[in-house]
Structure 1
Amino acid sequence: MPELPEVEVVRRGLEPRTVGRTITALEVLEPRSLRRQAGGEDRLRAALVGSRLTAVVRRGKFLWWRLAEPGGAEAGEALMAHLGMSGQLRMSTPGATTEPSVELSEGPASDPMRHRRVSLHLDDGARLDFVDQRIFGGLWTSPLLEAEGGVLAGVGSPDALLPEDASHIARDLLDPAADLSGIARALRSRRSAVKSLLLNQEIVSGIGNIYADEALWAARIRYDTPGAALGPRQAPALLRAARDVMERALEVGGTSFDALYVNVDGRSGYFARSLNAYGKEGEPCPRCGTVMRRVMHANRSSHFCPRCQRRR
């Protein structure tokens, strides 16, 4: 599943090519991609066709576009997008191709034509395709609410209005309004395994399996350490490590193991080459040389160094 850096790469690719554009048509090839839309395809078409996209915003792994009516007034709702396990948002223009331009690792590729589920046609002739091989993601509209504290709702937001369907999502570590001290206190107040806490999107959003393993390795903390066992310096250090690894991933386009994650032009990210823990089972730890291990914990794989990340 794409995590925060991958979704932010997509948001940055969409911003200059969709903001200010008007939706001229909606094409639905797979109704299951609209499963979250109240009123189904007819309601989505009524909300979108003729509307102008005024901003594209991200909080954690959620993306949304702010919508304006043809006369320019705010529509009071947003177009939500969630990529799920294999979703992509791909831009195309007449006569252009969107083939991946870098060599990809083994894995299932998502055919941008066969797996195209929903398309938005824009007034400049471009087409925005929602491509989803496994059909776990989707598009839908959600009414806007005031975000907590009256501060910007997310990265790219013009104001504090937040879609209702994203109101339960905590701020992420790349959000300037994120309260790292508050998040650290939340981690230390619970006895659940720290990795499970990092993956809890109501505590801190955007972190998935890849970046949780990388942050825990960087902070020398074992995946099953109870949150309450973290010291007052450890919890903030772990969050800083998570923020650092995601910022570095963002600089190189995110992490691509296969063509299920690509940016809006069909290109994959390079950060898989810089991973220290995730997917490194059986390889020497980059820090101490001990053989890295992988275990199943809470139905997820956890990669760690048994020497650097000892049980406490």
Structure 2
Amino acid sequence: MPELPEVEVVRRGLDRWATGRTVEKSEVLHPRAVRRHAAGPADFAGRLAGRAVLPPRRRGKYLWLPLADPADDAGARPSEALLAHLGMSGQLLVGEPDREAQKHLRVRIAFTGGPGADPLDLRFVDQRTFGHLMVADLVPDAVAGAAAPAPDGTGLVPAPIVHIAADPLEDAFDGDAFYRALRRRKTGVKRALLDQSLISGVGNIYADEALWRARLHWARPTETLTRAEAARVVQAAQDVMSAALAVGGTSFDSLYVNVNGESGYFERSLDAYGRRDEPCRRCGSPIRRDEFMNRSSYSCPVCQPRPRRARY
């Protein structure tokens, strides 16, 4: 599943190609792609038509395009956004409208105006149909504090994700609050990293990578973490995600690509995830694989010793 770096790569591409354009029309080619839009595909398309796209935003694994109404007065803040979650295999691809249709094309959005004024469309392609799009109301962002919402949508967040915590690359992320929440939660540290109400954007890949860098086992009880250890985990998550972002994210197959259809290259730099029986890059011990929440967890048995008390 695309995690924070992969979604941020897509957001940056949309910022370049979609910001400032106006939705001419949209087509829903598979109703499951808009299943979270309760009013249905026709309402989804109708609410997008004629709306101008403001700079895209992201929190964790969600991204959204604030929508302006051309009839609004200058300085009016947007009230709605196109909210996207890529799920396991979702792709948001931009290009010329007359290009060949992709397999598993679910939604097509045609734009007018914008950079260069060349025709452009945005396509939501999703092989497994676990991702979704919806038009959602924007509400004040509690994470951002008391700052008044701005006309470009700063300070607003889609209502369906208002409960999502700040992610580790946001200025609003509060390391002390995260540490206090960890101590209260009483779970394994990896489970905590995957809990989007504690910290958003971290998935299975980057949790393993951050814990390898922080030299902590994934089953370490959170209530035993010191403040310094919690800070080390957060710093490791920030570092590994920033490194992944610099090379376009992690692509294990063709299901994750940027808006131009290009893969990321961070898979070549992974230190733990997917490296079962390969030597640890620090100590040379074979990386181990454990079953974890119907998935896998990878760690070094020497650098990340299993705790005497463990929480699974």
Please say whether Structure 1 and Structure 2 have the same fold, judged by a TM-score greater than 0.5. yes
Separation in 2, partners of 1:93, 1:151: 39
Aligned match of 1:220: 215
1:86 to 89, 104, 117: 89
Separation in 2, partners of 1:191, 1:265: 42
Compute the displacement of 1:242 (Å): 0.6
Query: Is the aligned partner of 1:248 residue 2:251?
Result: no
Bigger mean CA deviation after superposition, 186-195 or 79-88: 186-195
Separation in 1, partners of 2:139, 2:205: 31
Aligned match of 1:150: 146
SS at match of 2:200: coil
Aligned match of 1:114: 103
Judging changes above 3 Å, is the alpha-carbon distance between structure 1 residues 31 and 95 closer, same or farther for their aligned structure 2 residues?
closer
Aligned match of 1:201: 196
The structure, 1 or 2, with the larger RCO (C-alpha pairs under 8 Å, 6+ apart) is: 1
Correspondence 1:17-166 to 2 at 5 A = 17-73=17-73, 74-94=77-97, 113-124=102-113, 125-148=119-142, 149-151=145-147, 158-166=153-161
Separation in 1, partners of 2:34, 2:184: 38
Whether the 8 Å contact between 1:290 and 1:305 is mirrored in structure 2 is yes
Separation in 2, partners of 1:79, 1:57: 10
Deviations along 1:84-131, one digit per CA (max 9) or x if unpaired, are 00000000114668xxxxxxxxxxxxxx61111001000041010000
Segments of 5+ residues of structure 2 without an aligned counterpart are 114-118, 308-312
Correspondence 1:168-187 to 2 at 5 A = 168-187=163-182
Separation in 2, partners of 1:259, 1:196: 28
Compute the displacement of 1:189 (Å): 2.3
Residue type matched to 1:15 in 2? D
Deviations along 1:111-169, one digit per CA (max 9) or x if unpaired, are x611110010000410100000000011101111111113598xxx6421111011011
Residue type matched to 1:202 in 2? S
After superposing on structure 2, the runs of 4+ consecutive aligned residues of structure 1 that deviate more than 6 Å are none
Deviations along 1:158-192, one digit per CA (max 9) or x if unpaired, are 42111101101100000011111211221222221
Compute the displacement of 1:55 (Å): 2.1
Whether the 8 Å contact between 1:5 and 1:253 is mirrored in structure 2 is yes
Separation in 1, partners of 2:251, 2:291: 22
Separation in 2, partners of 1:133, 1:118: 12
Aligned match of 2:267: 272
Separation in 2, partners of 1:17, 1:28: 21
Whether the 8 Å contact between 2:78 and 2:153 is mirrored in structure 1 is no
Aligned match of 1:236: 231
Bigger mean CA deviation after superposition, 296-305 or 204-213: 296-305
Separation in 1, partners of 2:295, 2:230: 22
Query: Is the aligned partner of 1:311 residue 2:300?
Result: no
Aligned residues: 295
Separation in 1, partners of 2:235, 2:279: 25
| TM-score (norm: length of structure 1) | 0.91
Aligned match of 1:109: none
SS at match of 1:233: helix
Deviations along 1:182-220, one digit per CA (max 9) or x if unpaired, are 112212222211000000000000000000000000001
Residue type matched to 1:264 in 2? V
| TM-score (norm: length of structure 2) | 0.91
Deviations along 1:212-246, one digit per CA (max 9) or x if unpaired, are 00000000100111111112210111110011000
Whether the 8 Å contact between 2:90 and 2:131 is mirrored in structure 1 is yes
Segments of 5+ residues of structure 1 without an aligned counterpart are 98-111
Residue type matched to 1:9 in 2? V
Separation in 2, partners of 1:162, 1:170: 12
Residue type matched to 2:54 in 1? T
